[in-house]
Amino acid sequence: MTPPRRVRLLIVADSDSYLKWGVTRALEAPPEWDVEVVVVRNAVTPSAAQREAAVDGRLDDLPVIGYPELVARLRTDEPDLLLLACRGPLIQLLLEETFAGTPPCRVAIAGIPGIWMPPTRLGLELRSATDLIIVHSERERKHVGALLPLGNLRATGLASLISTDALASAPPRTVVFAPQALVPRTVGDRRQLLAGLVTAAYQHPELEFVIKLRGEEGEAQTHAEFASFPELAAEVPEHRWPLNLGFGYGPLREHLPGCAGFVTVSSTAALEAIAAGVPVLCLSDFGVDAKTINVVFEGSGLFGTLADLTRLDFRHPDPGWMRDNYFHGSDADDWVAAATRLLGEAEGGARPSYRAPRRGAVGIANRSRRRFEALGDEDFALRRILGRTARHATRSLRPLVRLLRRGRPAEATTLSTSNGTKGAPRG
């Protein structure tokens, strides 16, 4: 009797956070699957140090390949499952542009490697040539399901966002702050946040305050950062900088043992701290809304202010909030089952195509801009020039587009803009 053919899963990652997420999904695959993880060179290729931190010893060193090499491989050797652990523009470039709406696999999968509440229509549109979107809480699933089907995208699968493995206990000695590239959204707010950390550090010389960064200066990240905290720290006179405030690097789990409290605006890293039993403070000084990416923490009991930070008033989350938000039992995870079901449906049938790429001058400009956001300097020289030109033109036209939209009915306007930070899209 011929043994059943093994399922082949190829995971393609682009940035550091997506790589960490993709490796986690690889480890969840059934033993009867053949799994491979590769990193594609792109606009935000993680450095060797970032790759090491993202993999964190869970897999062997991963190959880094160019976009042309990835395309050539997919044309000649299609996997059964293609999990794109990538930012939205690269997914759109690969599936809609390069493969004209017909993914080079039987089932295409995507997801967001962090808190995604509320889910954005833009994030889904950029992934609408895939079949399955991975979410990380029942709350996310409910909101995403209300927007489906969209293009080929028709199913959701649940996965755990963070590990709940216990960490070794240690005496409390540090306070860890996790900064973000996108929030707070103004330089003034970011300076205010840093000033709050400086004040708290002076008030508590018995503790070390650590600003835990995702990478060293010059390393790319999923979202381009403005007014980084090292840059802002350089503005502070040396005699006003507390000796117990500094910067940290590497995997977050290395900073959690001995952590007396964890502070952030809305970072997904807060979930890792919660899982490790570390009390958390989510700062509300800069607003609680979708733009600040922190509405998910409403009802958690974790919101507080910089004044609370000075008092070291950290909190543990409400158990009911935890059940609905990222702390479901692992037995509820079903993305593998959902992918298997879609794989069975694809057996013996032609795979439906999504749609042809947009035409016309505006469509060409948008595609060039998205391609530049996806590949950056890793693209061909002429493509880079076209992409930069398209991005500049798009930015110049935004005020006119906003003005025109003011005169349109609200229901006719769809979410289709990026976050506006150095051209880095939210997806």
Highest mean pLDDT among 104-118, 164-178, 222-236: 104-118
Q: What is the mean pLDDT of residues 373-382?
A: 79
Number of Cβ within a 10 Å radius of residue 166: 9
Residue 61 identity: D
Query: To the nearest 10°, the Cα dihedral for 190, 274, 318, 184?
Result: 10
Three-state secondary-structure class, residue 5: coil
At residue 352, the pLDDT reads 61
Compute the average pLDDT of residues 279-286: 97
Summarize the confidence of residues 270-278 as an average pLDDT. 93
State in Å, rounded, how far the first CA of the chain is from the last one.
46
- pLDDT exceeds cutoff 50 at 291: yes
% of the chain residues with pLDDT over 70: 80
pLDDT-derived band at 396 (thresholds 50, 70, 90) equals low
- The whole-angstrom separation of Cα 64 and Cα 55 is 13
Closest CA to 419 of 395, 390, 389: 395
Check pLDDT > 60 for residue 1.
Answer: no
Which DSSP helix (H) or strand (E) runs through 399? helix 381-406
With vertex at residue 378, the alpha carbon angle to CA 377 and CA 384, rounded to the nearest 5 degrees, is 50
Model confidence band, residue 216 (pLDDT cutoffs 50, 70, 90): low
Query: What are the structural domain ranges in the chain?
Result: 7-160+329-346, 174-324, 360-412
Q: Is the pLDDT reported for residue 3 higher than 70? A: no
Quote the CA–CA distance of 19 and 222 in Å, as a whole number. Answer: 10
Asked if the model's pLDDT at residue 426 lies above 90, the reply is no
Please tell me which residue, 399 or 28, carries the higher pLDDT value: 28
Q: Which fold has domain 174-324?
A: Rossmann fold (3.40.50)
Distance of CA 268 to the CA centre of its chain: 9
What pLDDT does residue 417 have?
Answer: 29
DSSP-derived letter for residue 56 is T
Q: What is the pLDDT of residues 65-124, one digit of tens each?
A: 999 999 999 999 999 999 999 999 999 999 999 998 889 999 999 999 999 999 999 999
Q: Which residues pair with 157 in a beta bridge?
A: 134
Instruction: Please say if the pLDDT value at position 424 is more than 60.
Output: no
Task: Kindly report the average pLDDT of the chain as a whole number.
Answer: 85
Domain 7-160+329-346 grouped into CATH 3.40.50.2000 = yes
The per-residue pLDDT for 423 is: 35
Q: Taking 90 as the threshold, does the pLDDT of residue 383 lie above it?
A: no
**Which pLDDT value is given to residue 166?**
56
Cα radius of gyration rounded to whole Å, the chain: 22
Band the pLDDT of 13: cuts 50, 70, 90: very high
Q: What is the DSSP string of 252-290?
A: GGGT-TTEEEEEESS-THHHHHHHTT--EEEE-TT--ST
Task: Tell me the pLDDT band of 387, cut-offs 50, 70 and 90.
Answer: low
pLDDT, tens only, 316-372: 999 999 988 999 988 999 999 999 999 999 886 656 665 555 555 556 777 788 888
7-160+329-346 and 174-324: identical CATH topology:
yes
222 pLDDT higher than 70: no
User: Has this prediction a pTM greater than 0.85?
Assistant: no
**Residue 254 carries which side chain, given as an amino acid letter?**
E
Segment 248-277 mean pLDDT: 92
The answer to whether 43 and 373 are in contact (CB under 8 A) is: yes
